[in-house]
Structure 1
Amino acid sequence: MDNGESSYRRFLAGDDNGMVELVHEFRDGLMLYLRSYTDDISSAEDCVQDTFIKLAVKKPGFNGKSSFKTWLYTIGRNIAVDHQRRFKRNRDVSLDDYGSVSDEADIEQSYLITEQKINLRHAMRRLKEEYQQVLYLTYFEDFSNEDTARITGRSRKQIENLLYNARKALRAELVKEGFSYENL
């Protein structure tokens, strides 16, 4: 598969299986990325659904200036940012509207297979949001610095600086947890 572009083009041509392939391919990774914006797995799930609904209903054109995955994650980020704006305006929501914390652990454990990755993810949560986002996109989703810059709306140089500082902060968090420096 060419990073989702052919599946999306097939969907636009009338093959609904193209959208099914996109959802299966990108749902989990997009959800974990958007969780860093929403800070709540249930809201991240809503944003992921809204992202795929936008693709299915509005059928925005993919121009090929970036990879399909970069384009999709940018749409998801914009939806999550809009979601957070609405959330801040409507803070008077009952606690029943939020998903349980155990849902988040189950989803992450199924996606992050090894214990090292789980420990890494926990350490990342203690970092600043911008550090979490740049580390996740770069190392978990294998985006280049240029693609990460497009997704986050920053320059490539800003991403390089953020990555440097994020790795330094992550190393300090992992050392606090007892990981030896040689393993980093």
Structure 2
Amino acid sequence: MDNGESSYRRFLAGDNEGLHEIICAYRAGLILYLNSFVQDIHTAEELTEDTFFELMKKRPKFSGKSSFKTWLYAIGRNITAKYLRKHKKLSVVPLEEQDNFSDEENIEGDYIKNEQKRVVHKAMHRLKLEYRQILYLSYFEGFSNSEAAVIMKKSSNQIKALLYNAKKALRSELERSGFEYEE
């Protein structure tokens, strides 16, 4: 039994600490995942709060057919889909707001790493929404193809093809922007 599932069971039994544990464990990752849809970190935070509020208020039944994290991310995705249908407009977070350079000894190395991350971030946001989603779920959140299939409501074969095409599209975007791969 994974920690999220046991915490949720405790919450359903009346222990509010269980919900607190779920929020602490999954909040940051869920915000970043939902941000891949809305491209506005503040909206993603609100949608994450809505996801946890739905757990608290509606107390949906967890069937155990997938991992708790997969189930939770699917709830967040559904809430975000409702939000997007209602608002139908995406806004972009300016990349300049995301530049944070440290005062550590290796400022040049940090600068290069941050610049590479920025280039990858820009390239990912030029991809189709589905490509951004599958890349985020697979590489940033570490979901398996079957878990990503549940979250995205697709078959495993569709996920494999989507992941292949997303990586190909990202590579093409990176090459177009002059990105150099490290050996």
Structure 1 segments unaligned to the other structure (5+ residues): 92-97, 108-112
Amino acid at match of 1:17: E
Pick from 67, 92, 98: which aligns with 1:105? 98
Distance, in Å, in 2 between the alignment partners of 1:62 and 1:173 is 39
Which whole-Å deviations, capped at 9, do the CAs of 1:78-134 have from their partners, x for residues lacking one? 00000111113xx7xxxxxx9975897389xxxxx9635454333211111110000
Give, in angstroms, the shift of residue 20 of structure 1. 1.2
1:24–1:106 distance in 2 versus 1, CA, 3 Å: farther
SS of the residue 2:8 aligns to? helix
Give, in angstroms, the shift of residue 177 of structure 1. 3.6
TM-score (norm 1): 0.81
The reply on whether 1:140 has 2:133 as its aligned counterpart is no
Give, in angstroms, the shift of residue 182 of structure 1. 5.0
Distance, in Å, in 1 between the alignment partners of 2:14 and 2:92 is 35
Amino acid at match of 1:4: G
**When the two structures are aligned, how many residues end up with a matched partner?**
170
1:15–1:152 distance in 2 versus 1, CA, 3 Å: same
Distance, in Å, in 2 between the alignment partners of 1:148 and 1:19 is 24
SS of the residue 2:163 aligns to? helix
Give, in angstroms, the shift of residue 148 of structure 1. 0.5
In the alignment, what sits opposite 2:44?
44
Which shows bigger deviation, 138-147 or 4-13? 4-13
In the alignment, what sits opposite 1:61?
61
State whether residues 95 and 118 of structure 2, in contact with CA within 8 Å, keep that contact through their aligned partners in structure 1. no
TM-score (norm 2): 0.81
> Looking at CA atoms only, which structure, 1 or 2, has the larger radius of gyration?
2
Q: What do you get for the CA RMSD once the two structures are aligned? A: 2.8
Percent identical = 55
1:24–1:118 distance in 2 versus 1, CA, 3 Å: farther
Alignment of 1:15-94 (within 5 A): 15-88=15-88
Structure 2 segments unaligned to the other structure (5+ residues): 101-109
